Amino acid sequence: MFSIQKNHDITPYTTFGLPARAAYYTELTCNQDLPQLCQQPEFDMHTVCWLGGGSNVLFMQDFPALVVRMATRGIREISRSGCMVLVEAQAGEIWHDFVQTTLKMGLSGLENLSLIPGTVGASPVQNIGAYGVEVKDRIHSVQCFDIEKQAFITLSNADCQFAYRDSFFKHEGKKRFVITAVTFALSTECVPQVQYGDLAQVLAQNCGERTPTAQDISDAVCQIRRSKLPDPAILGNVGSFYKNPIVSAKLADNIQAAYPNMPRYPQDNGNVKLAAAWLIDQCSLKNYQIGGAAVHDKQALVLINKNNATADDVRALSDYICLQVKQKFAIDLHPEPVWLPEN
């Protein structure tokens, strides 16, 4: 059963750590409580903030409505067919812990997504991705509660309309569907995906000539991430702050003519994905600081809460970075985290 608290401090529930309070707050530990929660007459369910691990959220001021923290837990194998295994995880499961559980089950598919902060329930919303893999490639279906119809439903992978760092849940499904669990299609056989970034190099150092296992890949991803990214428990951050921009091949060619070593990733439609971190690096912004917010000195894609940053500090720093990249490369950067409350 849920208990609603008033004027609750929600600062500890976000990884960046901007100070904020919620007018109302509760934790959901049982999906079956959702119908009753959504029928509370004093709340407009379309204004609710459904909070996972808080790793992709920036509260820019106190939240004037209800915040519901998803705290449901549970992982279970649903079925096996050949080498394919369906595994369901509840929305409140910590993402990295879930990935490690699947590896212990002898399953492959999520190893490249190791150490991404957040919860299972948030993973489809953002279509999280890293090292050449997106979670959409492994999602079989998403279980939701439909606030308008007051019913539990299941959405297929196609229903979720996945795109780069995007999904149905950011658009038509926003404020209507509460993700309660996600079912993943994993495999007992590992087909290594190690072409992205410096993953292959680290694996070669760690594994030598042998073919890496899924656990080897996970360990290498963790090794790389820990060397570049600050631990949110020690230094507040939301991970990658900007999406990697996708531009025309012509613009990418023009930039590469001046910067021959620029990393580029061709897309199926002929466009090119560029590395936002590289673009920011070329503007010499590592360690750049406004107020208590700063660009991380080891990874330009990460903004950090260096010294009791305020919301104004973060917004000013982000705006400055976007302006510098725009002026230098004629490219617009788009932040990944959600800024709340929304205007």
Q: Say how far residue 129 (Cα) sits from the centre of its chain.
A: 8
**Assigned token pair, 178:** 């509460």
Quote the CA–CA distance of 28 and 59 in Å, as a whole number.
Answer: 20
**Residue 33: phi, psi to the nearest 5?**
-80, -10
336 included as an active-site residue: yes
Quote the CA–CA distance of 175 and 9 in Å, as a whole number.
Answer: 23
Q: Under DSSP, is residue 269 helix (H, G, I), strand (E, B) or coil? A: coil
Give burial (CB, 10 Å; 0-12/13-18/19+) of 226.
exposed
165 included as an active-site residue: yes
Which of the residues 55, 114, 167, 240 is marked catalytic?
240
**Assigned token pair, 223:** 């090794």
Which of the residues 141, 165, 218, 318 is marked catalytic?
165
Q: Under DSSP, is residue 162 helix (H, G, I), strand (E, B) or coil? A: coil
Q: Reply yes or no: is the peptide bond before residue 341 cis, omega within 30 of 0.
A: yes
Q: Under DSSP, is residue 237 helix (H, G, I), strand (E, B) or coil? A: strand
187 included as an active-site residue: no
Amino acid at 227: S
Q: Which residues are catalytic?
A: 165, 240, 336
